[in-house]
Chain A
Amino acid sequence: MQYSYDQVASDLFRPVRFNKGHIIWLGILTIALFLCLYAYSIQLREGLGVAGIRDYVSWGMYISNFVFFVASSLIGMLMSAVLGLIGMKWIRPLTRIAEIIALAFAAVAGLVIISDMGRPERLPFLFLHGRIQSPILWDVTVVTTYVIISALLLYLPLIPDLAMGKKILTKPKILVKVYEILSVKWRGTKAQWDIIHRSMRILLILIIPVALAIHTVTSWLFASTPRVGWNSTIFGPYFVSGAFVAGIASVVIAMYFFRKNYKLEKYITELHFNNMAKLLVLVSLVYLYFNINEFLVPGYKLEKGDAIHLHDIFVGHNAGLFWFAQLFGMIIPIVLLLFRQMRKPFPMLILAILIFVASWIKRYIIVVPTQEHPFLPIQHVPSNFLIYQPTLIETAITLATFILVLMIITVLSKLFPVIPVWEMQEEAELNEKGGQS
């Protein structure tokens, strides 16, 4: 399925409009968001006690969710920067999808942290009174930076498309106006192209250490404490490799829906799913390697604290979640994706959804069980302090963050073409030339 130079712009700008279906979809999301925000208003009024977090397990669903969001946002760096810089051409139609996902998750990650605060109005204190020695301050710094860089990485390659779009799109007027302003007088001169190429290069290089930092620092929130299950020197790479698995799953899900809904089969082909599948297997194998290290080494020594912790997650009350996460988030996809048939779009979608869910559960397994096994014995506390049990309100607030991510992705993918138009045109041009010679 080839596409010609002339087709590209009309194909890719076609989905840029809000039709009935999308307005209904956004309406549903908004209503759901308001329901969840009502849950948050209860938490604001009553305090964090309405969530299941207590003295011992004080980091519950919210912080697990935060780790998951940061993890998912890392995909932008892997796709655009790592694969782009080493000259992988096939990722070009996917880079914008990856950036939109990265931006949406990174931006909402900050809000997820606020959901875990009993006194959110004290957020500025984090900056005013933060200790430079605290990984929490580093985390706040690096998440903010990453959001800015991701936004720029989304925006810069969009500039030529915006200039093109303002000519192609006729309505709505306001959107054309937005395109006009955002395209910063792009005339496609050589000097302007040079600036775009140079700036992109700088950002693509810059985002690699920043993205590694964002998730490594997130892992240090745990690994810089001596608690069982967190006291690990490989937590940084363990988190980063796991993040790529979760991120690829998000991108595959998005790819599938954009391909179907926006009729982009010519641009997002089975080859892309095939390649993403191979990439997924690669990062999953790296993640598996870190998992083996993370569990086999303490499991071999079996120090007292580790023994209690490992027993709990291997065969204890957290075992179900743990094995679900390990099997569906890693082992089963690795095995299944060895078969060509499984690397087709639909089977990939199913696997990606499983991995997505399993990855969320994995963050929960990393965050929660450790706190149920403190070094000092738990005594004289009400029984609901012993085992963490998320409440309905907590679940609704967590759901709200997902709804927000979906809304950001929906709006961005409706306002702008989800595939870089000029890059596809370049490709079409190359193909046509190749055809002639």
Chain B
Amino acid sequence: MKRIMSYTRFVLLISLIHYFTISLFSEEWTVPTDQSDKTAPFLFTAESVQKGADLFMKNCQSCHGNPGKANYANMDPSPGDPASEKFQKLTDGDMFYKITNGRGTMPQFKMILSEEDRWDLVSYIRSFHTGYIQPEPEVATMTSSGDRATMTLLYDSLAKMVTISVYTVKNDVKSPVKGAEVLFFIKRYFGNLPVGEGARTNEEGIISYPFPEGIVGDSIGQVALIAQLNESSGYGNAKKTIMVPLGVPTEWVSLTADRAMWNINFKAPVWLILSYSLTVLGVFITLIYIALQIRKIFLIGTDYDDEQSEKS
């Protein structure tokens, strides 16, 4: 009896867990109000739509398909068609929030795409909504160009440190920007690898990062380093990329560089070309020899006939 009880409890527990997992994902994806009301920092243009289209193809198409064609991947939960009404009735802020943070199988693009890129995507998705009127851009965060910060990136190859200083230039006077959040990435083959998150500049407008160990670089250890000012700091979105020789030097040999079974015909292994051609050649020389032998039978027969006719 006790056993049955514990079994029932177990089943109950499992079904509860099941219920919660289901409900977690099928639950409405709500966006915090302040995020929902957020608007793009610029007016959508043909250019931003084009940029968004390129980004969409690289990052979104594999699941969402081509907007308007409803050819999205068959997944659960369904990714849906971004041109559909379900998507278009979201606010710009909702879309931006969902792209930024992701949920479940929808990836987070916070670290992969810049804020501007993400807004470009929103502008692309909106291009499928004919009646769309863009809300007035809220440019409060985009301060006047004079206040936009600039960055310099320096590295110390001995100490393996990277130093970023953020400053504004006004009337030829440099003033450090204090407390600005700088995001810091290493460019990898697919996307950018974030290194440390949310560090802020000190009094002198400087952040120092130790460069992580074991980062694979090119043949001389060069690695592309990206520093980006977080726009919400209010000093624009300055971005700087430099090559630093701090990675582990790595020789990249293409998989198709050498002769191999999986390579193209002209890069077949030598042993294979040799054994194939020599075997085929050997067999065919033998066959030609046999053909010549048959000819010889004929020649002998002709001679024999001549001899016979001479005798008679």
Contact = CB atoms under 8 A, between A and B. Distances in A.
A132 B286 contact: no
A145 interface: yes
B290 A138 contact: no
B301 interface: yes
Given A132-B268, A196-B297, A187 B287 contact: no
A138 B276 CA distance: 8
Contacts of B9: none
B290 A132 contact: no
Where chain A touches its partner, the secondary structure class is helix
Interface in B246-294: 261-265, 268-269, 272-273, 276, 280, 283-284, 286-287, 289-290, 293-294
B300 A187 contact: yes
A152 B287 contact: yes
Contact of B290 (A129, A159, A192, A202): A202
Contacts of B296: 195
A56 to B, nearest CB: 17
Contact of B273 (A129, A132, A192, A195): A132
Contacts of B269: 133
Considering residues A129, A132, A202, A379, which has the most beta carbons from chain B within 10 angstroms of its beta carbon? Answer: A132
Nearest to A203: B290
Interface residues of A, number: 30
A148 B287 contact: yes
Interface in A42-89: none
Contacts of B287: 145, 148-149, 152
B74 interface: yes
Contact of A152 (B265, B290, B295): B290
A326 interface: no
Nearest to A183: B301
Given A184-B298, A185-B298, A206-B286, A132 B272 contact: yes
A36 B69 CA distance: 44
Contact of A133 (B261, B280, B304): B261
B94 to A, nearest CB: 30
A408 interface: no
B301 A187 contact: yes
A203 B294 CA distance: 13
B302 interface: yes
Contact of A184 (B268, B272, B290, B297): B297
A319 B260 CA distance: 40
A192 B293 CA distance: 9
A185 B302 CA distance: 7
A341 interface: no
Interface of A: 129-133, 138, 141, 145, 148-149, 152, 156, 159, 184-187, 189, 191-192, 195-196, 198-199, 202-203, 206, 210, 379-380
B89 to A, nearest CB: 29
Contact of A202 (B276, B286, B298): B286
A49 B260 CA distance: 35
B305 interface: yes
Contacts of B294: 156, 159, 184, 199
23 contacts: A130-B265, A132-B276, A133-B265, A133-B268, A133-B269, A133-B272, A141-B276, A141-B280, A145-B284, A145-B287, A156-B290, A156-B294, A184-B294, A184-B297, A184-B301, A185-B298, A185-B300, A185-B301, A185-B305, A192-B300, A192-B301, A199-B293, A202-B289
Interface in B94-119: none
B265 A185 contact: no
Given A129-B265, A145-B284, A192-B300, 18 more contacts: A131-B265, A133-B262, A133-B265, A141-B276, A148-B287, A156-B290, A159-B294, A184-B295, A184-B298, A185-B302, A189-B300, A192-B297, A192-B301, A195-B293, A195-B296, A195-B300, A196-B297, A202-B286
A189 B272 contact: no
Considering residues B287, B297, B304, which has the most beta carbons from chain A within 10 angstroms of its beta carbon? Answer: B297
B305 A187 contact: yes
A132 B301 contact: no
